[in-house]
Chains A and B, each alone.
Chain A
Amino acid sequence: MDTFEGKNSKNKVYLKINRKGLSDIAYDVLLGIIIAVIFVVPVMLHINSLANGERLWSEYYSGEIAKLINNANSGDELQIDSSKAMEIARKNRIESHKDVFFFSNEANKICVKMDIESEPKCRFYFKDLNVVDVRSDVSESGNLLRFKIVEADRGGVG
């Protein structure tokens, strides 16, 4: 414990610096902040993902694209209006459709992700077909995601 004399020399005031006490308070405050951050950050991310519709629209696009493929035949050329997906993705600093829509011909899977930090929403399609030539076109009505359906060759990626 350190002591030092105060300015008023008549009534000698001793200020006691309890270093341990100070560190206890700092420790408690720091612990409180860490715990609050651990809980608050995931909650804020969850709310943000719901509020900008990223999760819901990812589910929508993955579901609709899987449905399109399930009802498609080899040789079909399909398109879906991807304006909303690209609008949300741009807000989340994603510019290219290649970073939003992921087709996996090996796994018969379409994944959609509109935020760098979020997990992609994936759906599997039962039709044994491959998706190739995936491109995004900008038309008067907005963005269009176009892709072709071909017979599965067990290995190609679109």
Chain B
Amino acid sequence: MIEMKSKNGRMGDWAMFSIFLFFVIVIAGGIALGTSIFFGTGLNYGESEGADLYNAVSKCMEDKVLGVEEIKDADFYKTCMLDKEILFSYFTLRIEEKSAGRLINFGNAEACLFDVEKIPKNAPKCVGGKVENGKGEFIIIAGSRQK
């Protein structure tokens, strides 16, 4: 004698329900994906913000003739009008003194895969360049980690 596990025949209902749920998820996901592709995924301000940070820091270093010691000093943020907390949380900045090879990192500096000569395509949010002032030659790379 075959033992019937689903005595009231509800197994089929639950199987159909699973299929219904699957199709609802697929259709809803498809509509959301389709409209997102059609209307675009949004704007990217990362690179522009990286460029703004680079310009602000390089201009400050040139105008105020800042060297590594001054940059390491707590007054650096006030001198260059930078918000320390925001810089570390949402931006990234690396300053390298070329002659001595001394590095100063702000935020997650490794995010840019720093190579000023060839910034990789997969790190478009980083902007780099050289700055010369009375204290030496510096390589500055700045980026934004805001999405």
Q: How many residues of B contact A (CB 8 A)?
A: 36
- 23 interchain pairs, CB-CB under 8 A: A35-B20, A36-B24, A39-B24, A43-B31, A46-B32, A46-B35, A50-B35, A51-B35, A55-B42, A56-B43, A59-B42, A63-B48, A67-B45, A70-B49, A74-B81, A123-B45, A123-B146, A124-B86, A124-B146, A126-B82, A126-B87, A127-B82, A128-B83
* Interface residues of chain A: helix, strand, loop or mixed (majority): helix
Q: Which B residues touch A47, using CB under 8 A?
A: 31-32, 35
**Is the beta-carbon distance between B146 and A108 smaller than 8 angstroms?**
no
**For residue A60, which residue of chain B has the nearest CB?**
B43
Q: Which B residues touch A74, using CB under 8 A?
A: 81
In A26-61, which residues have CB < 8 Å from any B CB?
28, 31-32, 35-36, 39-40, 42-43, 46-47, 50-51, 55-56, 59-60
Tell me the complex Cα distance, A39–B32, Å.
Answer: 10
**Is the beta-carbon distance between A124 and B90 smaller than 8 angstroms?**
yes
Is A129 located at the chain interface by the 8 A CB criterion? yes
**For residue A129, which residue of chain B has the nearest CB?**
B81
Is B141 located at the chain interface by the 8 A CB criterion? no
**For residue B45, which residue of chain A has the nearest CB?**
A63
**Is the beta-carbon distance between B81 and A63 smaller than 8 angstroms?**
no
**For residue A20, which residue of chain B has the nearest CB?**
B8
In B22-57, which residues have CB < 8 Å from any A CB?
24-25, 27-28, 31-32, 35-36, 38-40, 42-43, 45, 48-49, 52-53, 55-56
B11 smallest CB distance to A (angstroms)? 14
